[in-house]
Structures are given as C-alpha cells and as structure tokens.
Copies of this chain bind each other. A is one copy, B any other.
Amino acid sequence: MKSVYCSIITIGDELLIGQTIDTNSAWIAQQLNTIGIWVKRRVAVGDVKQDILQALNQESEQSDLIIITGGLGPTADDITKPLLCEYFGGTLIQNKEILEHVTNIFTIRKRPMLEVNLKQAMVPDNCTVLFNEVGTAAGMWFEKNNKVFISLPGVPFEMQHIIRERALTKLKNYFTTPVILHRTLVTSGEGESFLANRLIEFEATLPAYIKLAYLPKLGIVKLRLTASDIEAIEIDSYFNELKIILANIAVADTDIELEEAIYKLLIERNETLSIAESCTGGQLCARITSIKGSSAMFKGGYVPYSIDSKVNVLGVNRKTIEQDDVVSEAVVIEMAEQCRTQMNSTYALSVSGHLEKQQGETIVWIGLAMEGKTLAKKMNVFYDREKNNVFVTTNALNLLRQFILQD
C-alpha cells in the first residue's frame, strides 16, 4: 500500500517574525496520524503572494495532501482567499449558509455586523465548503491533479473543529492509507543519553520497520516505537520488552502527561490532593487543574509567595523559617502538613526554593504529607527561571506519583 504524505503550509508574517508560536501543525499531524497519513514537511511562509504560490507548487510536487492554515481572518492583511481562488481558477461567490451563520453569531454575541464580516461568506465556487460552526471563517476543500488541498483558519479551536468534524472523514474516504502504529512509554528520572545506553541491546534487536525515538522534555523522556507496516503487529511485543527494561522509571505506557497519570491514580483510589507551592508560583496547581474533571480529586492550593503568607496564611512556624531557612526540609514538611490539614486532603504536595541562580547551589525542596507519613527531597536546578519551573513541577509531580504508589 502506498503511503499518503501531507505537507502543512502555515501562512502569516506573525509566524515568521516570531510573534506567534505554531501549535496548529503539531495538532494537525497528530490527527492525520490517527488515519494513517504522514506529515512529510511543514512550511511557514509570510503574507506574500509569490511565497505562498511557490509553497503551493513545491509542496504539491511531493505530497498528496496539502493543508494550508491561516490568512482567512477578516482583516486587511489577509490575502489567502483571493489567492486560492486564482490558483484553482474559481470565482468568489456568496454562500448563503455561511452568511446566515455569521449573521447569527453576531446577533447572539450582541455585536454589530461589519462590512469585513460579510466578506467571510464569500467562497470560491470550485471548492467544497467545510462548514465552520464555531467561527466565521469557513474551511475549503480543493482538488487539483489528484491532490487534495484544504484551507483552514489559523485560530486553533476553529481549525480543530473543522478538521475533527469535517475533514477527517472526508480524507479517510478519499485516501487508502496503511496502518501506522505508535506506542509511547513515558519515563521520568533518567536523561536521554543514559537511557540510550540502557537500550543499546534492545535497539539492536529492533527490525528495520520499527523505529525507536527519544523525545526528551525537562524531567521527562518519552520513548516512542513507530511502525508503518502491516507486519507491525509485533510492535506490542517489543513495547512490552521496553516496559520491562525500564520498569523502574516508567510513568505511563500511553502518551499522557504526569498530571493525567496522577489524576487517574487518585480517581481510581478515591483519594484527594492539595498543593502548597511557593517558587513554582501556581504552575503545579495549574497543571493539575488543566485536567478535565480534576475537581473530583483536587481540593485546592496555596501559593504562599512571601514569608508572611507562609506564616500567617498557611500556618508555617516562623521559628522554623528563621532556624532552617525558608528553603529547607523542615519548611516544606510543615507546608505539606499544614496544607493537608487545612484542605482536608489525602495527600499534600509542597515546594519551596529558588528558581534563579543563587550564590553556591541553587536548590529547591519538595515536601509530601499523608496520614502518618511525610517525605522531603532536595533538588539542584541548573536552567533559567522558566525552565527550572517546568523541571521542578515535573519532578514534584513524579515524586508525588511515587509517594502515592508506595502508600
């Protein structure tokens, strides 16, 4: 079976001058992978007619599917729609269904309807409209020389809606695609090169049609096996072997984040969590509450950023801070214990430390408390403020996960 390849073209000066980070391409690639389409190339070009045309020509030479995002908004710097119309040899016509829908949106939101908004209802007469229920810019499906071109708005949730609700089924029917399988093992605690060394023998046994990739993030390495062949059914036995080799550092055997693993664990056990975080400034709470349904296991948190708030609000003993320093084992233990009592949760997690370089070592303490048991761990941090925050929250969540499992 022939592989089906896709190129993603993102349009917009804001991507090229670095004012916007492209999260759309990654999301689109994930969705296409589920139906067996590989993204071969991603290209970003500015709002320049010649550059867009060149990208369309180049990408259609090597891919079967070309997805174009961006450049469909209502403002004057958007040139994509007229250009597509020209490229595919069509004429812009008013689409009644879209017009009605756009008018309706403005009525509901009690906003005046403007001339530029009316333009949103104009589409090329030679495309199939991919109707956008959640916004004003429609998706468009073109076919030319046996290639499919899909044009989508750049606003992520509108783009996602159109892909999910309109494009995927149409693509599945249009292309015949081979099986692509991914298996991802999430690990925490060892670096990329250390892991690679542990896996030398394992890698040597892998057949050519199964690929192993290392995907490191701060505090996490994801190991991904990929197979695109019909024989790929063996992938599961290799994956099981991988899980056994790395059992001591494995966090999850599906591609989920640590916070999701903790959420599942606590829901399963019918237990709850609270958090008191100082230097991480809200990131731990934010990661936990990013999970839909987290209110069933998360009681609440403190961000006691000042010493006064640690003492007056959270109830840490001022003497402990004076004797042992605000970044110390004793303080994070008190923070976790106070937090757990006041929030009335099964477990409490606490953090106090420095995220920016100090004289001597730059350290962070992580504390944990449950009924009759506490634990604290010291960490050295090496990166900048932002990276240290991610590194610390990831390590804190992993320590919490182990603490729960040892219970």
Q: Which residues of A contact B (CB under 8 A)?
A: 13-23, 25-31, 33, 38-47, 51, 55, 58, 73-77, 109, 111-112, 114-117, 155-157, 182, 184, 191-197, 203, 211-216, 222, 224, 226, 255, 274-275, 281-290, 292, 294-295, 298-306, 308-309, 312-313, 342-344, 356, 382-387
Least CB distance from A142 to B in Å reads 22
**Given A43-B43, A77-B212, A301-B302, 5 further pairs, Cβ under 8 A:** A13-B226, A43-B44, A282-B286, A295-B305, A300-B305
Q: Are A74 and B281 in contact (CB under 8 A)?
A: no
Q: Are B45 and A17 in contact (CB under 8 A)?
A: no
Q: List residues of chain B with CB within 8 A of the CB of A306.
A: 295, 298-300
Q: Are B19 and A39 in contact (CB under 8 A)?
A: no
Instruction: Find A157's partner among B13, B214, B387 (CB 8 Å cutoff).
Output: B387
13 A-B residue pairs with CB within 8 Å: A18-B26, A18-B31, A21-B22, A43-B43, A74-B193, A74-B196, A75-B193, A76-B196, A116-B196, A282-B283, A282-B285, A285-B286, A309-B343
Least CB distance from A124 to B in Å reads 21
Q: Are A303 and B305 in contact (CB under 8 A)?
A: no
Q: Are A77 and B282 in contact (CB under 8 A)?
A: no
Bound complex: CA of A326 vs CA of B189, how far in Å? Answer: 41
Bound complex: CA of A402 vs CA of B87, how far in Å? Answer: 47
Instruction: State how many copies of this chain the complex holds.
Output: 2
Q: List residues of chain B with CB within 8 A of the CB of A309.
A: 274, 299-300, 343
Q: List residues of chain B with CB within 8 A of the CB of A300.
A: 302-306, 309, 313
- Which residue from chain B places its CB closest to the CB of A314 in the assembled complex? B300
The answer to whether A288 and B295 touch (CB under 8 A), given A76-B203, A301-B302, is no
Least CB distance from A303 to B in Å reads 4
Q: List residues of chain B with CB within 8 A of the CB of A308.
A: 299, 344
Bound complex: CA of A386 vs CA of B40, how far in Å? Answer: 29
Bound complex: CA of A277 vs CA of B17, how far in Å? Answer: 34
Bound complex: CA of A213 vs CA of B108, how far in Å? Answer: 28
Least CB distance from A323 to B in Å reads 22
Bound complex: CA of A239 vs CA of B47, how far in Å? Answer: 21
Instruction: Find A193's partner among B117, B195, B216, B344 (CB 8 Å cutoff).
Output: B117
The answer to whether A216 and B73 touch (CB under 8 A), given A286-B282, A300-B303, is yes
The answer to whether A111 and B194 touch (CB under 8 A), given A214-B75, A214-B77, A303-B303, is yes
Q: Are B30 and A26 in contact (CB under 8 A)?
A: no
Instruction: Find A302's partner among B47, B184, B302 (CB 8 Å cutoff).
Output: B302
